[in-house]
């Protein structure tokens, strides 16, 4: 029973709310079914499926809050979980930052569920693996990959009359192709809601081409270079900066968005004017639920417009405290793109570096959102509009703010996931003066 339809979910949630004796009660019900296959050394290593459904009940008396969950759904279990939450709420200290639950809301209808994806079978997953392994072996390469598909539902209800339901699907595919002499490596990612958009062979071929082209890389001197960052190369730097866009931290003076003397940089132009960053649960390429976990409607929200900071994320407490509208953490991140293809962008580059992806990106200084990390699985030197030769991987130390100021060109968008596993739509970026600080021998 991991996936409940709207009526089944509603029935359980209504029962929970009717059992509540607290001042306020809110319940979230989530379920998912995942199937996955993993392969390495040109053979399947593991495959499996995971499913679970769980109910979270939050009860409050005044400013005292308690939380409890369960994954059994008979009447006695539902009663038990509600009583436990209430008991914890009675024991909890008062939280001065407590915020009352929301009243009824209106939601857009979401388009995050794709029937095609639900119909994926174990046989399909095996074929995905074969689509990588067979051509890899034929090219003297070794494939290691992972494919996972998921069918999820989420529902919530509270004692002030909020009810929300959503169903979503997704799939994510990555494959690494390594040359058998250990001198080259290529990689690709595909991320979709609808499996009909996915071709394992097409994707695997890109990783194969990169692996073959990247063999025997040359060392170049670290320093400042013009880079063409494929979407998978910039997503982590963008995502990590985005996680630092909380209003409270900015107001408190401990964020890159903090100004001097208690001000923030809201309304300031921090980035190149071609930078536009927003979230939209209805975007057809990255559709999500249209409500946040607390039942608040998710709408299109502009974060950066023409390089200007337009919005920061808020908790409900902080929005109330500041007397401003609540801006919840979004469900996707979209950066506006252009029409130039990767080939066009390479053609327009006199000297530069093409970066397939970046790896192990970690914050060095939150004040400047400075990150370090390395290139991986396909790094190439470009001269006079052509890829000249593969180069050795390099470590960078760069601020996302600097990166988004040094924009030369913006290309087509692709759907990718960063380390936080949020599906985002990010364009290829051409950036000048990107700072590489050392060489790596890694392949």
Partner 1 sequence: MKDNFSDFMRLKRRDFLRWGGVGLGGLMLPIPAWATPVSAEALLDPRLDVRQKKQLADVALNAAKSKGASYADVRIGRYLNQFVVTREDKVENIVNTESYGVGIRVIVNGTWGFASTNDVTQEGIAKAAYNAAAIAQANSKIQKEPVKLVPTPSLGEVSWKTPIEKNAFEVPISEKVDLLLTANARAMENGANYVNSLLFLVNEQKYFASTDGSYVDQDIHRIWPICRVTAIDTESGQFKTRNEFSAPMGMGYEYLDGRASSKIQTPAGVTVYRNHYDIIEDATNGAKQVKEVLKAKSVQPGKYDLVLDPSHLWLTIHESVGHPLELDRVLGYEANFAGTSFATLDKWQSKSFQYGSKEVTLFADKIQPNSLGGVGYDDEGVQTKRWDLVKDGVLVNYQAIRDQAHIINEPESHGCCYAQSWNDVQFQRMPNVSLAPGKTPYSVEEMIKDVEKGIYIIGDGSFSIDQQRYNFQFGGQLFFEIKEGKIAGMLRDVSYQSNTQEFWNSCAKICDESDYRLGGSFFDGKGQPSQSSAVSHGSSTTRFNQVNVINTARKI
Q: Which residues, 346 to 385, sit near partner 1 by CB under 8 A?
A: 359-370, 372-374, 376
Residue list 402-421, contact with partner 1 (CB under 8 A): 402, 419-421
Closest approach of partner 1 to the CB of residue 144, in Å: 4
Q: Binder to partner 1 among 18, 21, 48, 223 (CB under 8 A)?
A: 48
The stretches of 23-174 forming alpha helices (DSSP H) are 75-91, 115-118, 122-138
Q: Binder to partner 1 among 184, 287, 295, 352 (CB under 8 A)?
A: 295
Answer yes or no whether residue 154 interacts with partner 1 by CB under 8 A: yes
What residue has token string 């308690």?
66
Q: Strands 308-309 and 301-305: what pairing?
A: antiparallel
Q: How many CB atoms lie within 10 A of CB 401?
A: 17
- Which pair of tokens denotes residue 91? 């024991």
Site stretch for partner 1 (CB under 8 A), options 113-121, 193-201, 337-345, 396-404: 396-404
Answer yes or no whether residue 249 interacts with partner 1 by CB under 8 A: yes
* DSSP-assigned beta bridge partners for residue 214: none
Helix axes 122-138, 200-213, angle to 10 degrees: 30
Q: Binder to partner 1 among 395, 409, 414, 428 (CB under 8 A)?
A: 395
Answer yes or no whether residue 441 interacts with partner 1 by CB under 8 A: yes
Answer yes or no whether residue 267 interacts with partner 1 by CB under 8 A: no
Answer yes or no whether residue 40 interacts with partner 1 by CB under 8 A: yes
Answer yes or no whether residue 311 interacts with partner 1 by CB under 8 A: no
* DSSP-assigned beta bridge partners for residue 371: 363, 398
* DSSP-assigned beta bridge partners for residue 244: none
Q: Binder to partner 1 among 118, 212, 266, 401 (CB under 8 A)?
A: 401
Answer yes or no whether residue 301 interacts with partner 1 by CB under 8 A: no
- Which pair of tokens denotes residue 279? 């979230």
> For residue 252, which of 317, 318, 303 has the smallest C-alpha distance?
318
Answer yes or no whether residue 5 interacts with partner 1 by CB under 8 A: no
Site string for partner 1, 110-139 (x = CB under 8 A): ------------x---x---x---------
> For residue 396, which of 342, 355, 349 has the smallest C-alpha distance?
355
Alpha-carbon distance of 15 to 7, in angstroms, equals 12
Alpha-carbon distance of 280 to 193, in angstroms, equals 15
Answer yes or no whether residue 84 interacts with partner 1 by CB under 8 A: yes
Size of site (CB under 8 A) for partner 1: 105
- CB contact at 8 A, 186 and 203: no
Site stretch for partner 1 (CB under 8 A), options 16-24, 29-37, 278-286, 381-389: 29-37
> For residue 232, which of 271, 186, 276 has the smallest C-alpha distance?
186
- Which pair of tokens denotes residue 382? 């470009």
Answer yes or no whether residue 440 interacts with partner 1 by CB under 8 A: yes
Closest approach of partner 1 to the CB of residue 340, in Å: 27
Q: Binder to partner 1 among 254, 274, 299, 432 (CB under 8 A)?
A: 254
Site stretch for partner 1 (CB under 8 A), options 3-11, 33-41, 193-201, 335-343: 33-41
Closest approach of partner 1 to the CB of residue 436, in Å: 11
Answer yes or no whether residue 41 interacts with partner 1 by CB under 8 A: yes
Site stretch for partner 1 (CB under 8 A), options 7-15, 91-99, 297-305, 407-415: 91-99
How distant is the alpha carbon of residue 57 from its chain centre? 27
Closest approach of partner 1 to the CB of residue 374, in Å: 5
- CB contact at 8 A, 373 and 360: yes
Torsion of CA 24, 25, 26, 30, to 10 degrees: 170
Residue list 197-226, contact with partner 1 (CB under 8 A): none
């Amino acid at each position: 029973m991991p996936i409940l339809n709207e009526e089944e979910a509603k029935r359980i949630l209504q029962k929970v709310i009717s059992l509540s004796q607290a001042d306020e009660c809110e319940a979230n019900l989530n379920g998912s079914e995942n199937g996955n296959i993993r392969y390495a050394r040109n053979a399947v290593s593991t495959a499996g499926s995971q499913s679970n459904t769980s109910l979270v009940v939050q009860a409050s008396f005044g400013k005292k809050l308690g939380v409890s969950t369960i994954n059994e759904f008979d009447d006695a279990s539902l009663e038990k979980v509600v009583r436990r939450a209430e008991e914890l709420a009675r024991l909890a200290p008062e939280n001065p930052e407590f915020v009352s639950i929301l009243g009824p809301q209106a939601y857009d209808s979401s388009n995050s569920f794709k029937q095609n994806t639900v119909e994926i079978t174990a046989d399909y997953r095996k074929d995905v693996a074969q689509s990588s392994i067979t051509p890899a072996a034929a090219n003297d390469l070794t494939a290691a990959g992972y494919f996972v598909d998921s069918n999820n539902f989420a529902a919530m209800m509270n004692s002030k009359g909020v009810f929300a339901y959503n169903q979503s699907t997704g799939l994510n595919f990555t494959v690494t192709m390594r040359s058998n002499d250990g001198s080259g490596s290529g990689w690709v990612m595909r991320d979709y809601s609808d499996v009909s958009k996915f071709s394992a062979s097409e994707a695997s071929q890109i990783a194969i081409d990169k692996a073959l082209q990247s063999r025997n890389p040359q060392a170049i001197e670290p320093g400042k270079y013009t880079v063409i960052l494929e979407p998978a190369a910039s997503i982590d730097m963008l995502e990590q900066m985005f996680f630092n866009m909380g209003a409270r931290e900015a107001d408190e003076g401990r964020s890159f968005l903090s100004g001097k003397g208690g001000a923030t940089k809201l309304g300031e132009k921090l980035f190149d004017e071609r930078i536009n960053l927003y979230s939209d649960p209805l975007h057809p390429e990255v559709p999500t639920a249209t409500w946040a976990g607390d039942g608040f409607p998710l709408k299109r929200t502009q974060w950066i417009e023409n390089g200007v900071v337009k919005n920061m994320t808020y908790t409900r407490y902080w929005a109330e405290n500041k007397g401003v509208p609540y801006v919840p953490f979004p469900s996707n991140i979209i950066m506006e793109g252009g029409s130039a293809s990767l080939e066009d962008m390479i053609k327009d580059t006199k000297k530069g570096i093409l970066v397939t992806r970046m790896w192990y990106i970690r914050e060095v200084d939150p004040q400047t959102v400075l990150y370090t990390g390395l290139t991986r699985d396909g790094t190439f030197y470009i001269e006079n509009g052509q890829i000249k030769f593969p180069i050795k991987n390099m470590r960078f130390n760069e601020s996302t703010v600097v990166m988004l100021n040094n924009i030369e060109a913006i290309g087509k968008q692709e759907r990718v996931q960063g380390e936080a596993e949020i599906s985002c739509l990010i364009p290829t970026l051409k950036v000048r003066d990107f700072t590489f600080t050392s060489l790596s021998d890694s392949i």
